[in-house]
Amino acid sequence: MSDEEPDIDDIERRMAGAVSTLKSEFAGLRTGRASASLLDPVVVDAYGSQMPLTEVGTVSVPEPRMISVQVWDKGNVSAVEKAIIKSGLGLNPAVDGTLIRIPIPDLNEERRQELTRVASRYAEEARVAIRNVRRHGMDELKRLEKDGHLSKDDQKIWSDEIQSMTDDMVKQVDTLLAEKEKEIMQV
């Protein structure tokens, strides 16, 4: 081997981060069933700053088609309601004191197709992020070889390792997308 090696663990960590981000984006896509994670992307303007919804109230799923948010401070109820409406999730909250009930409407075919396209876009963004990490890793290998820290053979070995890692991560993205599309299209 050589005196200096590429940081493969860092490359793998960054690629896994792209897959993790995709999973959280998919959690926010509505599938016709109530899920507390559906409200994860909602940010509330409370106490003079932007706060995640989970820091101003308790999110629960009392029934399969209903999400409820128990707001801790009565002064934040209208801010939470506005944040849910502005979130772009297509939800219409109903306020009852400090409790906000959010019925999850059935998805029509057109909305299902639209959500499938959104899921595909998220997956493509994850693939691009993974490929960017691969490109940075390959550039680092070329630099190490050029500087004489890596032999041509070692550069080829590391290059194959990075490509294999990239292929595995892209396969994970494709699997997640297929599962999410199936979930969205399920009636």
Alpha-carbon gap, residue 44 to 41, rounded angstroms: 10
> Could you tell me the end-to-end alpha-carbon distance of the chain, in angstroms, rounded to an integer?
56
Question: What is the pLDDT at residue 186?
Answer: 77
The ranges of the chain annotated as CATH 1.10.132.20 are 8-26+108-185
Q: pLDDT by residue (tens digit) across 109-168? A: 887 888 888 889 899 999 999 999 999 999 999 999 898 888 889 999 999 999 999 999
Alpha-carbon gap, residue 72 to 95, rounded angstroms: 14
Question: Over the chain, what is the mean pLDDT?
Answer: 87
> Is-contact 184 115, C-beta < 8 A?
yes
CA-based R_g, the chain, Å: 22
Question: What is the pLDDT at residue 3?
Answer: 52
The ranges of the chain annotated as CATH 3.30.1360.40 are 33-103
Amino acid at 161: E
Q: pLDDT by residue (tens digit) across 93-102? A: 888 888 999 8
CATH number of 8-26+108-185: 1.10.132.20
Hey, what CATH class is 33-103 in? Answer: alpha beta
Q: pLDDT by residue (tens digit) across 52-111? A: 888 889 999 888 888 999 999 888 888 999 988 887 777 888 888 889 998 887 777 887
Burial of residue 55 (CB within 10 Å: 0-12, 13-18, 19+) is exposed
Question: What is the pLDDT at residue 2?
Answer: 44
H or E stretch at 63: strand 57-63
Query: Within 13 Å of residue 27, how many CA atoms lie on the same side as its CB?
Result: 13
Alpha helices in the chain (DSSP H): 8-27, 77-86, 109-146, 152-185
- Residue 187 pLDDT level (bands cut at 50, 70, 90): low
Q: What is the pTM of this model?
A: 0.67
Burial of residue 18 (CB within 10 Å: 0-12, 13-18, 19+) is buried
How many residues belong to the chain?
187
- A 10 A CB-CB count for 58 gives 13
69, two tokens: 């948010």
